[in-house]
A and B are shown apart, each in its own frame.
Chain A
Amino acid sequence: MTRVVRGFGWLLVVSGVVVLLYVVYLLWFTGLETERAQRELAETWSLTVPDGPVAGGQPDDPPDRVEEDEDEEDEEVALGDAFAALWFERDGERIVDDEVLFVVSGATLQLLRSGPGHYPLSDRPGGAGNLAIAGHRTTYGAPFWSLDVLTEGDTIHVVDRRGREWVYAYREQRIVAPTDVWVLGADPLGSGAPTITLTTCHPRGSAAQRLIVWGELLGDPIESTARGTTPQEIAGRVEG
């Protein structure tokens, strides 16, 4: 009997240590994994994307100044590859994250370890529909840790794979249930304007709810390439 109790005690001690190590890994070491992935994405981005205002061009740059090339517009980005570059500005200063975030194609938990991820069936940057991106609030570099600091007047900048910078004006944020797929619809704000939707965990460290941030495109949109026709479809196809 004593041996059973002692064995159970050791089991609890070992379990406690394992859980503690896991928490330490999640909080500190996952960030290193994301950092390395972002560095690699930055390298491939600089090789494949034409010279563009990746590191913060002027927010009022007209996005339609670059000539269209429809063949390239329909280019399929492989899952896990760099899909876009993303950052946030307030009065010309970068907020939310000091670094430019490279968005990967796809939004599975595995892919999100590399950085924010694009919902594959949502629209492309600058598209007339809804461009949807998910990112971690905690762990894996926590790219959207401070997403809630965005307020009226802030801008969300997205550079696509052709080097075009698209600027979205912050409009609204809301806390919703994880099942509220309507936020990924073509026009979630009901304004008719091209939209960007950013989704992340809420509260920090929990996935009980989602923080949703919306922005609307400044400038003229290009034709939509959203392949999902319903929010359910977009939410359900995070793997592409």
Chain B
Amino acid sequence: MSRSTPDDDATRRWPRWIRVLVLLVVIAVSVVLLFTWVFPWVEELTQDPTIGSQLLRRPR
């Protein structure tokens, strides 16, 4: 079995602009998910000062 050399790795890599694009897309999707779903959920869990709202969220 032959070992891959750094040169082989380099030739298998995607072009730099594609890697940057993928990274930007991942960051953008993560930020959107964080602000639309994760952070509101954390806020609801830790900052809700109202009474009874947990009853509404509980699955029936």
Contact = CB atoms under 8 A, between A and B. Distances in A.
Interface of A: 18, 22, 26, 107, 109, 112, 119, 134-140, 144, 176, 178-181, 183-184, 199-201, 205-207, 210, 212, 231-232, 234-236, 238
Given A22-B39, A109-B44, A238 B53 contact: yes
Interface in B18-59: 30, 34, 39-40, 42-56
Contacts of A26: 43, 47
Contact of B46 (A176, A200, A207): A207
B51 A205 contact: no
B58 to A, nearest CB: 9
30 contacts: A18-B34, A22-B34, A22-B39, A26-B43, A26-B47, A109-B47, A134-B50, A134-B51, A137-B49, A138-B47, A178-B48, A178-B53, A178-B54, A179-B51, A180-B51, A199-B49, A199-B51, A200-B49, A201-B47, A201-B48, A207-B46, A207-B47, A207-B48, A207-B49, A231-B52, A232-B52, A235-B50, A235-B55, A238-B50, A238-B52
B47 A139 contact: yes
Counting chain A CB atoms within 10 Å of each CB, which of B30, B44, B52, B54 scores highest? B52
Contacts of B34: 18, 22
A163 B43 CA distance: 34
A180 B51 CA distance: 7
Nearest to B58: A179
B49 A135 contact: yes
A236 B54 CA distance: 9
Given A22-B34, A199-B49, A232-B52, 12 more contacts: A18-B34, A112-B50, A119-B50, A178-B54, A179-B54, A179-B55, A181-B52, A181-B55, A183-B51, A234-B52, A235-B51, A235-B52
Contact of B53 (A144, A212, A231, A235): A235
A236 B52 contact: yes
